[in-house]
Amino acid sequence: MLALSFGSVLAGCANQGAQATASQACVHVERGLAAEHKAAKTSLAQAARLDTEALDQMRAALPLAAVAANEDTTWQPLEATLSESNRVPLRYLLSALAAQCAGSGKNG
């Protein structure tokens, strides 16, 4: 019984750690989403810079999402979507990333 209780406590701590790390990843995702939204409303030169900034933010989020996914499998979709940013144009990933980070408990 004690071992079962101890295991539950450890799992709870791991989930809190994963949540905090995922929230950090989602801060980067939100910054990237904001840059992409600005890029859609600006000049070509400015849009190119904002597109690069957005991609940089998504790539900064990836290792954090990987750590969170390793601790709590509910974050694996976020990690998988972020990992696609190396192969898929970011504009195709934006809605999935926004949904995966919605309600993540992030602190700007």
User: pLDDT class for 11, splitting at 50, 70, 90?
Assistant: very low
71 belongs to a structural domain: yes
Q: In the chain, what percentage of residues exceed pLDDT 90? A: 79
Looking at residue 10, what is its pLDDT? Answer: 46
53 belongs to a structural domain: yes
Helices (H), the chain: 2-39, 44-71, 76-83, 94-101
44 belongs to a structural domain: yes
Q: Which two tokens stand for residue 86?
A: 């190396």
Does the pLDDT at position 51 exceed 80? yes
Looking at residue 105, what is its pLDDT? Answer: 59
Alpha-carbon span 14 to 11, nearest angstrom: 5
Question: Are the CB atoms for 106 and 27 separated by under 8 Å?
Answer: yes
4 belongs to a structural domain: no
How crowded is residue 75: how many other Cβ atoms within 10 Å of its Cβ?
A: 24
Looking at residue 16, what is its pLDDT? Answer: 81
User: What integer is the mean pLDDT of 72-85?
Assistant: 96
Question: What is the Cβ-side half-sphere exposure of residue 11, based on CA atoms within 13 angstroms?
Answer: 7
14 belongs to a structural domain: no
Q: Which two tokens stand for residue 71?
A: 């601790």
56 belongs to a structural domain: yes
Q: How many domains does the chain have?
A: 1
Q: Which two tokens stand for residue 9?
A: 């406590």
Alpha-carbon span 82 to 98, nearest angstrom: 11
User: What integer is the mean pLDDT of 80-100?
Assistant: 96
Domain ranges, residue 44:
20-101
Does the pLDDT at position 2 exceed 60? no
63 belongs to a structural domain: yes
How crowded is residue 30: how many other Cβ atoms within 10 Å of its Cβ?
A: 18
3 belongs to a structural domain: no
